[in-house]
Chain A
């Protein structure tokens, strides 16, 4: 599929979801179960993206000290947990990986 078509369809779907209940005039309430489930979308989806990025190296699971992305990821997780600061977390994680790759 052409990238422009992907953007267009992705953009239309995103817009459709943003417009959905505004279009329905707020007369409709989301069912309670759905409302509660939506809260878990970001943690579930983001975590499902992050973990393989950290742990799978060249198609294999790599839980070792030579997996620098895992180590840098742990640094980022600790910084995010302690500071809750987006910018600081990104900088710490990137810097950790750069330093590890530079030294070893």
Chain B
């Protein structure tokens, strides 16, 4: 096996444990998308066109509530803003690659592929076949996501409508957000955003969500700035 292939399969192997968490998430998305009134083909295609779990969940939710398209697009952008940070973080390691590699790896830059890849780069440094490892993590995740979406769509069509499947969305977000609340600023950001979202619930076009998100981010950043070196808490 060439070094390229070795690096690619090492990336796939490193991604496997994360797929255990991603698989049910992908299936729930499939179920939820049908539940929100999407046809099977668009529901499946969103998984390759947008290819971002939480944004797909929210899009399905907003489509069901018949929220205007422009607001949905803006919400997708806000929810996926964190990818700018990932992009900045891996950029030094891929800077000398040809354009087609940069385009492909950017498309595959999800939370889970990023988490595994950046760890690899930090341990191994930039090496000549590092991008094959990155590709391995991305392809593993992409394949799993497409298959699990399809499984969810097939399953979703057979489940009784009275099942409260839409509850999968808040529960999945709870599973993602709670472990991320590791310090006081993060907790304050979440609590602030939650309370503002409740108070601003009646605002049209989900503007309450945007407002809540922005205020939460501001409070978190401000609190963290206050406890920076030299400043008393």
Contact = CB atoms under 8 A, between A and B. Distances in A.
A18 B42 contact: no
Given A10-B50, A33-B221, A52-B198, A47 B177 contact: yes
B221 to A, nearest CB: 4
A40 B220 contact: yes
B91 interface: yes
B1 interface: no
Contacts of A52: 197-198, 201, 208
Contact of A10 (B59, B164, B186, B196): B59
Contacts of A8: 49
B103 interface: yes
Interface residues of B, number: 93
Interface residues of A, number: 70
A97 B167 contact: yes
Contacts of A98: 163-164
A56 to B, nearest CB: 6
Contacts of B185: 40
Contacts, number: 266
A93 B72 contact: no
A4 B50 CA distance: 11
B79 interface: yes
Interface in B139-180: 163-164, 167-180
Contact of A97 (B70, B106, B164): B164
A36 B45 CA distance: 34
A84 to B, nearest CB: 4
With most chain A CB atoms within 10 A of its CB, the pick from B70, B90, B106 is B106
Contacts of B84: 17, 20-21, 30, 38
Contacts of B196: 48
A25 B91 contact: yes
A62 B164 CA distance: 18
A9 B46 CA distance: 11
A21 B192 contact: no
A51 B109 contact: no
A91 to B, nearest CB: 8
A44 B83 contact: no
A23 to B, nearest CB: 7
Interface of A: 1-11, 13-15, 17-30, 33, 35-56, 61, 69, 72-73, 76-77, 80-81, 84-87, 89-90, 93-94, 97-98, 101
Q: Can you list the 8 inter-chain pairs with the closest CB atoms, starting with the nearest?
A: A1-B69, A44-B216, A26-B91, A40-B220, A93-B171, A80-B178, A89-B175, A48-B212
16 contacts: A6-B72, A14-B51, A18-B107, A26-B88, A26-B94, A40-B216, A42-B180, A43-B190, A44-B214, A45-B193, A47-B193, A50-B170, A51-B194, A87-B20, A90-B25, A97-B164
Given A86-B176, A94-B164, 6 more contacts: A7-B42, A7-B49, A20-B88, A87-B175, A89-B178, A90-B171
